[in-house]
Homo-oligomer: A and B are copies of this chain.
Protein backbone atom coordinates (compact mmCIF):
# COMPACT_ATOMS: atom_id res chain seq x y z
CA UNK A 1 0.00 0.00 0.00
CA UNK A 2 1.40 3.38 -1.03
CA UNK A 3 2.00 5.64 1.97
CA UNK A 4 3.40 8.99 0.86
CA UNK A 5 3.47 11.71 3.50
CA UNK A 6 3.59 15.34 2.47
CA UNK A 7 4.55 17.72 5.23
CA UNK A 8 6.95 20.58 5.88
CA UNK A 9 10.41 19.02 5.90
CA UNK A 10 11.98 21.05 8.73
CA UNK A 11 9.43 20.89 11.55
CA UNK A 12 7.53 18.32 13.57
CA UNK A 13 4.30 20.32 13.46
CA UNK A 14 1.03 18.55 12.81
CA UNK A 15 2.79 16.07 10.56
CA UNK A 16 4.52 14.55 13.57
CA UNK A 17 1.29 12.94 14.77
CA UNK A 18 1.18 11.09 11.46
CA UNK A 19 4.89 10.25 11.49
CA UNK A 20 4.57 8.72 14.96
CA UNK A 21 1.66 6.56 13.81
CA UNK A 22 3.49 5.35 10.70
CA UNK A 23 6.64 4.65 12.70
CA UNK A 24 4.82 2.79 15.47
CA UNK A 25 3.11 0.61 12.89
CA UNK A 26 6.44 -0.17 11.27
CA UNK A 27 4.94 1.03 7.99
CA UNK A 28 7.01 1.57 4.88
CA UNK A 29 6.31 5.17 4.03
CA UNK A 30 7.99 8.01 2.19
CA UNK A 31 8.31 11.42 3.84
CA UNK A 32 8.28 13.00 0.42
CA UNK A 33 9.27 16.60 1.16
CA UNK A 34 12.30 15.36 3.11
CA UNK A 35 13.74 13.67 0.06
CA UNK A 36 16.43 15.57 -1.87
CA UNK A 37 14.97 17.85 -4.53
CA UNK A 38 16.53 15.66 -7.21
CA UNK A 39 14.37 12.82 -5.98
CA UNK A 40 11.21 14.91 -6.01
CA UNK A 41 11.53 16.24 -2.47
CA UNK A 42 11.54 19.66 -0.88
CA UNK A 43 8.64 21.97 -0.16
CA UNK A 44 7.96 21.98 -3.91
CA UNK A 45 6.53 18.49 -3.56
CA UNK A 46 4.06 19.88 -1.05
CA UNK A 47 2.97 22.72 -3.27
CA UNK A 48 2.56 20.32 -6.17
CA UNK A 49 0.12 18.05 -4.38
CA UNK A 50 -1.77 20.96 -2.84
CA UNK A 51 -2.13 22.64 -6.19
CA UNK A 52 -3.14 19.56 -8.15
CA UNK A 53 -6.05 21.00 -10.09
CA UNK A 54 -9.41 19.46 -10.67
CA UNK A 55 -9.52 17.16 -7.68
CA UNK A 56 -12.38 17.53 -5.25
CA UNK A 57 -10.01 16.21 -2.62
CA UNK A 58 -7.54 19.06 -3.12
CA UNK A 59 -6.27 19.66 0.43
CA UNK A 60 -6.41 22.97 2.25
CA UNK A 61 -3.12 22.42 4.06
CA UNK A 62 -0.56 19.77 5.01
CA UNK A 63 -0.21 17.16 6.40
CA UNK A 64 -1.42 15.13 3.45
CA UNK A 65 -1.06 11.38 3.09
CA UNK A 66 -1.47 9.34 -0.04
CA UNK A 67 -2.97 6.06 1.14
CA UNK A 68 -3.18 3.79 -1.85
CA UNK A 69 -5.41 5.71 -4.24
CA UNK A 70 -6.79 8.06 -1.58
CA UNK A 71 -5.35 11.52 -0.94
CA UNK A 72 -6.19 12.39 2.65
CA UNK A 73 -5.70 15.67 4.49
CA UNK A 74 -6.17 16.79 8.10
CA UNK A 75 -4.19 15.02 10.77
CA UNK A 76 -7.17 13.41 12.51
CA UNK A 77 -8.67 12.31 9.21
CA UNK A 78 -5.38 10.72 8.14
CA UNK A 79 -5.10 8.88 11.44
CA UNK A 80 -8.60 7.48 11.22
CA UNK A 81 -8.01 6.32 7.64
CA UNK A 82 -4.73 4.55 8.37
CA UNK A 83 -5.77 3.43 11.86
CA UNK A 84 -7.62 0.22 10.97
CA UNK A 85 -5.33 -0.45 7.98
CA UNK A 86 -2.17 -0.40 10.08
CA UNK A 87 -3.57 -1.92 13.26
CA UNK A 88 -3.48 1.38 15.11
CA UNK A 89 -7.10 1.20 16.24
CA UNK A 90 -9.59 -1.68 16.61
CA UNK A 91 -11.82 -1.95 13.56
CA UNK A 92 -15.22 -1.73 15.27
CA UNK A 93 -17.25 1.46 14.94
CA UNK A 94 -17.38 2.25 18.66
CA UNK A 95 -13.58 2.18 18.95
CA UNK A 96 -13.03 4.12 15.76
CA UNK A 97 -15.50 6.85 16.75
CA UNK A 98 -14.06 7.07 20.27
CA UNK A 99 -10.48 7.31 19.02
CA UNK A 100 -11.38 9.96 16.45
CA UNK A 101 -13.30 11.93 19.05
CA UNK A 102 -10.29 12.02 21.36
CA UNK A 103 -8.03 12.87 18.44
CA UNK A 104 -10.21 15.86 17.53
CA UNK A 105 -9.76 17.16 21.07
CA UNK A 106 -6.01 16.78 20.53
CA UNK A 107 -6.43 18.78 17.32
CA UNK A 108 -8.23 21.58 19.16
CA UNK A 109 -5.61 21.64 21.87
CA UNK A 110 -2.78 21.78 19.34
CA UNK A 111 -4.48 24.74 17.64
CA UNK A 112 -4.61 26.50 21.00
CA UNK A 113 -0.92 25.77 21.56
CA UNK A 114 -0.16 27.30 18.17
CA UNK A 115 -2.11 30.42 19.01
CA UNK A 116 -0.11 31.02 22.19
CA UNK A 117 2.63 32.40 19.93
CA UNK A 118 0.32 33.56 17.14
CA UNK A 119 -2.77 35.04 18.82
CA UNK A 120 -3.35 37.78 16.26
CA UNK A 121 -2.43 36.22 12.93
CA UNK A 122 -0.65 33.20 11.48
CA UNK A 123 0.75 35.45 8.77
CA UNK A 124 2.52 37.82 11.17
CA UNK A 125 5.84 37.10 12.85
CA UNK A 126 5.86 36.16 16.51
CA UNK A 127 7.86 39.31 17.14
CA UNK A 128 4.94 41.38 15.90
CA UNK A 129 2.50 39.89 18.43
CA UNK A 130 4.68 39.28 21.48
CA UNK A 131 2.59 41.34 23.88
CA UNK A 132 -0.60 39.55 22.90
CA UNK A 133 1.25 36.22 22.97
CA UNK A 134 2.18 36.82 26.59
CA UNK A 135 -1.44 37.58 27.47
CA UNK A 136 -2.73 34.52 25.65
CA UNK A 137 -0.03 32.24 27.07
CA UNK A 138 -0.75 33.38 30.60
CA UNK A 139 -4.35 32.21 30.35
CA UNK A 140 -3.36 29.16 28.33
CA UNK A 141 -0.94 27.92 30.97
CA UNK A 142 -3.26 28.81 33.86
CA UNK A 143 -6.52 27.47 32.47
CA UNK A 144 -6.52 25.73 29.12
CA UNK A 145 -3.57 23.40 29.74
CA UNK A 146 -5.14 22.24 33.00
CA UNK A 147 -8.52 21.82 31.35
CA UNK A 148 -7.30 19.75 28.40
CA UNK A 149 -4.71 17.69 30.27
CA UNK A 150 -7.23 17.14 33.07
CA UNK A 151 -9.70 15.91 30.50
CA UNK A 152 -7.28 13.39 29.01
CA UNK A 153 -6.28 12.29 32.52
CA UNK A 154 -9.94 11.69 33.36
CA UNK A 155 -10.34 9.54 30.26
CA UNK A 156 -7.36 7.43 31.34
CA UNK A 157 -8.75 7.24 34.89
CA UNK A 158 -12.14 6.06 33.60
CA UNK A 159 -10.39 3.29 31.68
CA UNK A 160 -8.67 2.04 34.81
CA UNK A 161 -12.08 1.66 36.42
CA UNK A 162 -13.61 -0.05 33.39
CA UNK A 163 -13.79 -3.75 34.22
CA UNK A 164 -14.48 -4.71 30.60
CA UNK A 165 -11.65 -2.87 28.89
CA UNK A 166 -9.37 -2.01 31.78
CA UNK A 167 -6.00 -0.74 30.66
CA UNK A 168 -3.56 2.17 30.64
CA UNK A 169 -4.36 3.48 27.16
CA UNK A 170 -6.73 6.16 25.90
CA UNK A 171 -9.11 3.47 24.72
CA UNK A 172 -8.46 1.14 27.64
CA UNK A 173 -6.80 -2.18 27.01
CA UNK A 174 -5.60 -1.62 23.46
CA UNK A 175 -3.04 0.95 22.45
CA UNK A 176 -4.08 3.20 19.55
CA UNK A 177 -2.83 6.15 17.57
CA UNK A 178 -4.40 8.41 20.21
CA UNK A 179 -1.77 7.30 22.73
CA UNK A 180 0.99 8.30 20.32
CA UNK A 181 -0.61 11.72 19.95
CA UNK A 182 -0.95 12.17 23.71
CA UNK A 183 2.73 11.28 24.01
CA UNK A 184 3.54 13.98 21.46
CA UNK A 185 1.39 16.54 23.28
CA UNK A 186 3.20 15.93 26.57
CA UNK A 187 6.59 15.98 24.81
CA UNK A 188 5.69 19.24 23.14
CA UNK A 189 4.52 20.89 26.34
CA UNK A 190 7.68 19.69 28.08
CA UNK A 191 9.64 21.55 25.43
CA UNK A 192 7.49 24.68 25.19
CA UNK A 193 6.09 25.16 28.69
CA UNK A 194 8.30 23.15 31.07
CA UNK A 195 7.49 25.29 34.09
CA UNK A 196 3.75 25.33 33.58
CA UNK A 197 3.76 21.60 32.97
CA UNK A 198 5.72 20.91 36.14
CA UNK A 199 3.04 22.72 38.13
CA UNK A 200 0.49 20.26 36.71
CA UNK A 201 2.63 17.13 37.11
CA UNK A 202 0.91 15.87 40.24
CA UNK A 203 -2.51 16.11 38.57
CA UNK A 204 -1.67 13.99 35.53
CA UNK A 205 0.12 10.84 36.74
CA UNK A 206 -1.63 8.57 34.24
CA UNK A 207 -0.80 10.83 31.32
CA UNK A 208 2.85 10.95 32.36
CA UNK A 209 2.91 7.18 32.75
CA UNK A 210 1.40 6.84 29.29
CA UNK A 211 4.07 9.10 27.86
CA UNK A 212 6.81 6.91 29.36
CA UNK A 213 5.07 3.78 28.12
CA UNK A 214 4.89 5.11 24.55
CA UNK A 215 8.50 6.33 24.63
CA UNK A 216 9.56 2.79 25.54
CA UNK A 217 7.80 1.12 22.61
CA UNK A 218 10.66 -0.33 20.55
CA UNK A 219 9.75 1.28 17.23
CA UNK A 220 9.04 4.64 18.86
CA UNK A 221 12.29 4.49 20.82
CA UNK A 222 14.17 3.71 17.61
CA UNK A 223 12.42 6.52 15.79
CA UNK A 224 13.11 9.08 18.52
CA UNK A 225 16.80 8.14 18.43
CA UNK A 226 16.98 8.40 14.65
CA UNK A 227 17.55 11.33 12.33
CA UNK A 228 14.00 10.92 11.12
CA UNK A 229 12.82 12.62 14.33
CA UNK A 230 13.23 16.34 13.68
CA UNK A 231 14.11 18.19 16.89
CA UNK A 232 11.61 20.67 18.30
CA UNK A 233 12.36 24.17 17.08
CA UNK A 234 10.91 27.66 16.95
CA UNK A 235 9.26 27.21 13.56
CA UNK A 236 6.92 24.48 14.74
CA UNK A 237 3.84 24.42 16.91
CA UNK A 238 5.54 23.79 20.25
CA UNK A 239 8.07 26.62 20.64
CA UNK A 240 10.29 27.43 23.55
CA UNK A 241 9.90 31.13 24.22
CA UNK A 242 10.86 31.48 27.90
CA UNK A 243 8.91 34.74 28.17
CA UNK A 244 5.70 32.77 27.55
CA UNK A 245 6.46 30.36 30.41
CA UNK A 246 7.68 32.59 33.23
Interface on A for B, CB 8 Å cutoff? 53-60, 70, 72-74, 76-77, 81, 93-94, 97-98, 100-101, 104-105, 108, 111, 115, 119-124, 132, 135-136, 139-140, 143-144, 148, 151, 154-155, 158-159, 161-162, 165, 170-172
Contacts and interface: CB of A to CB of B under 8 A. Distances in A.
B97 A81 contact: yes
B155 A58 contact: yes
A202 B158 CA distance: 52
Contact of A57 (B98, B111, B115): B98
Given A119-B132, A120-B132, A135-B120, A105 B56 contact: no
Contact of A136 (B56, B57, B120, B148): B120
Contacts of A77: 97, 100-101, 104
Indicate the member of A57, A60, A104, A132 with the most B CB atoms within 10 Å.
A60
A59 B101 contact: yes
Contacts of A165: 56
Contacts of A154: 58
6 closest cross-chain pairs (CB), A and B: A121-B139, A74-B104, A60-B105, A120-B135, A54-B158, A120-B136
Contacts of A135: 120-121, 132
B159 A101 contact: no
A98 B56 contact: yes
17 contacts: A53-B158, A54-B158, A56-B155, A56-B158, A56-B162, A57-B101, A58-B154, A59-B101, A60-B151, A77-B100, A77-B104, A115-B119, A119-B120, A121-B140, A121-B143, A123-B143, A132-B132
Given A56-B170, A74-B100, 12 more contacts: A54-B162, A56-B158, A60-B105, A60-B108, A60-B151, A70-B93, A73-B101, A74-B101, A76-B104, A77-B101, A81-B97, A121-B135
A104 B74 CA distance: 7
A174 to B, nearest CB: 11
